[in-house]
Amino acid sequence: MGVLDHVWLGVLAVFTAEPAFSIFGLPISITLVMVFSGFVGGIVVGATPGLGGPFAMAVSLPILISVFGFTPDALLPVLGFLVGIMKGSTIGGAVPAILFNTPGTPDSVLTTFDGYPMTRNGQSGKALRVAHFSSVTGDTFSDIVLITSAPFLAIMVERFLDFPEKAALIILSLAFISAVVGRSVWKGILGALLGLFFAYIGTGEDGYPRLSMGSEELGNGFPLVSAVVGVLILGEVFKSMEDMWREMRERSEITMIEEKGDNKLRLADIRRILPFVGLSAVIGTAIGALPGIGSVLAATLGYASGKKMYKGDKSFGEGVPEGVAATEAANSSVAGANLIPVLSLGIPGNVSAVFIILAAESIGGFNPGPTVFRVIPDQINPEMVIVFGLFTTMICANILNWTLGGIFMRATGVMVKVPKQRLLAVVLLLTPTAIYVQNTDMFAIYFTLFFGFIGYLMRKLDISVLPFVIAFILANRLEEAMRQAFSATGGNPWFLFDSPISIAFIAIAVIVVVFFARNKKALG
C-alpha cells in the first residue's frame, strides 16, 4: 500500500463514517457533524473574554470519550471535534480584541493594538473582515505545509535545536517582545521580569516551594489562566471603568462608538495587506513547527516584522489594517504547524496540541511519532490512515472558516453597539465565573483579582502587559530548557554559549535591546 492509497482511505474514513442523519437522501457522517459542532463552539468560546480553545477542549474531551467510548471508530469524530474547536477559536479570539480591547486569547493581545483603534475610528467592520481574511489565509497556508512536509520539517527542527538552543530562543523571544512593544524598552524588560518573578513563585522543577512564605496556596504557584486573564482582561476592565467614570464626570455621558465610512474589505485592501499576511504566515508556520513555543511568540514576531516592513502614513498601534493582518495571520498559521511535532515526534507544539495527544492516548489505536508515516509493503498502516483522516477534518474546518467564519465575523459587528457600561459588567461577571469553572477553587478567583490589579497598575504606569504575559507563559519552559541544557552539557554554566546557534540567538537578543533602546530614546 502506497502513500496515495492511505490518503484515499483517510478521506473515506471521514466521509463514510456512521451517518448522523441524511440531507435529501445524502448521508452526513458523524465525523463531519462533529467538525461542524466543534467549529461553531470554538467560535463562541474564542469570542468570549476569559475563555479560549484550550478551555473548551479540556471540558469537552472527557464528555466526548464518555459518549463515543474507546473503540477505533471513536477516534476521528473526537479528533474532528477538537480540530473544529481549535480552528473556530482561532478566528473567534479576534472579536473581543477588536471590538472591546479585551482579547479572548493571549495571542490576540497584539490584535488590540490596531484592531481596537480601528473600532474607535468607526472601522470595526473592516477590522473584523481583515482579521478573518488574514486568519483563514494563514491557517490554510499552515495546513498545506503540515500536510506536505510534516515529517521532514519536524526532524530538521529537532536536529538543529537542542536544549541550549531552545533556551536561547526563548530568551531571544522575551528580549524581542520587551524591546518592540511599548514606548520604553526598559519598561518592557521590567514587565517581562515581573512575569518571570510571579511565574517562579511556588514549586519549581526541583520540587521545592519558592517564595511561598509557608503558604500552601502560594506553594502550588499561581494558575496560568488566573494570571493571564487577570492581567489582560480584568486589568483592562478596571482601567476602562476608571476612564468611563472620568468621562461621566467631565461630559455627563458615555461616548458610543458607531461605524462610519467604508467598512467593506475591497480588493485594493487585500492587495495592501497581502504582503503582511504572507510574511506572518511563514513566520507563524515556522514557529508552530517548534515544540512548545506556541502562537504568542508567533503573533509577536509577526507583528514586529510587519511593523518594520510598514511604510504608511500612520504608525502601527494607531489603527492600521496591516497591524491586524500581521498579527492574525501569524497566530492562526500556528494552528496547523503545531501538529508537525505532534504527528512526527509525539511532542505537543502548544496547549491545543496537548489535547490531540490526550485524545489519541485515551482512545487508543493511534500513537503519534515517527512510525505514523511508515509505509508497510502490502499492508495498511492504520495510523497513517488516521493521520490523513485528521488532515481531511482540518481541510473541512478550513472550508467552514472561509464560509461560515466570514458570516460570523460580519455579524459580530453589531456587538459594538452594546452600551459600554453593560458590557463591562458582563465581562466582570463572566471572567471570574470562567475561572471558577476551570479551577473550582476560590483562591483562583482571588489570584485573578490580584493580577487584575497588577494589570491595572501596569497600564497606569504605561508598562505594556504583553511582555508580562509572554514571560509568565514561557517561564516554566525556559526553566525546563535551561535545567535540561545544564544537565546535558555536564554541568557547564556557560551552556548558552556552547553552540553557534545559541550564541547567535543570545547575540541577536542583545542587539535587539540595544538597537530599540537607542532608537526609542532618539524618537522620544
pLDDT exceeds cutoff 50 at 37 = yes
- The residue ranking higher by pLDDT, 223 or 261, is 223
Give the pairing of strands 209-210 and 19-23. Answer: unpaired
Structure-block grid coordinates of residue 201: 513563585
Query: Residue 206: what are its φ and ψ, rounded to 5°?
Result: -85, -5
Residues facing 29 on adjacent strands: 19
- The residue ranking higher by pLDDT, 372 or 316, is 316
Structure-block grid coordinates of residue 239: 482601567
Which residue matches cell numbers 478551555? 55
CA nearest neighbour of 109 among 454, 436, 468, 432: 468
Say what the alpha-carbon torsion angle 9, 364, 157, 328 is, to the nearest 10 degrees.
80
Residues facing 203 on adjacent strands: 209
Q: In this structure, which amino acid lies at residue 277? A: V
Residue 153 is predicted with a pLDDT of 59
Contacts of 235 (CB under 8 A, 6+ apart): 451, 452, 453, 454, 455, 456, 458, 459, 465
Q: pLDDT tens-digit profile of 116-159?
A: 888 888 888 888 889 999 999 999 998 888 888 766 655 565 56
Residue 507 is predicted with a pLDDT of 92
Residues facing 27 on adjacent strands: 22
pLDDT confidence band for 463 (50 / 70 / 90): confident
Helix (H) or strand (E) holding 203: strand 202-203
CA 108 to chain centroid, in Å, comes to: 7
Query: Residue 22: what are its φ and ψ, rounded to 5°?
Result: -125, 145
Query: On the CB side of 396, how many CA atoms lie within 13 Å of its CA?
Result: 29
Structure-block grid coordinates of residue 444: 483562583
Helix (H) or strand (E) holding 196: helix 185-199
| Helix ranges restricted to H, 252-381 | 267-288, 295-309, 321-332, 334-337, 339-345, 351-363
Q: How confident is the prediction for the chain on average, in pLDDT?
A: 79
Residue 2 is predicted with a pLDDT of 72
Residues facing 202 on adjacent strands: 210
CA 377 to chain centroid, in Å, comes to: 40
pLDDT exceeds cutoff 50 at 468 = yes
Greatest alpha-carbon span in the chain: 79
Distance CA 269, CA 292 (A): 34
CA 16 to chain centroid, in Å, comes to: 32
Q: What is the mean pLDDT of residues 341-354?
A: 63
- The residue ranking higher by pLDDT, 190 or 46, is 190
What percentage of residues in the chain have a pLDDT greater than 70? 80
Cβ–Cβ < 8 Å for 101, 317: no
Q: pLDDT tens-digit profile of 229-252?
A: 788 778 877 887 787 777 667 665
Structure-block grid coordinates of residue 73: 471508530
Q: Cα dist. 231→184, 192, 209, 236, 315 in Å?
A: 19, 13, 24, 8, 25
Output the CA torsion sign for 443, 445, 446, 447: positive
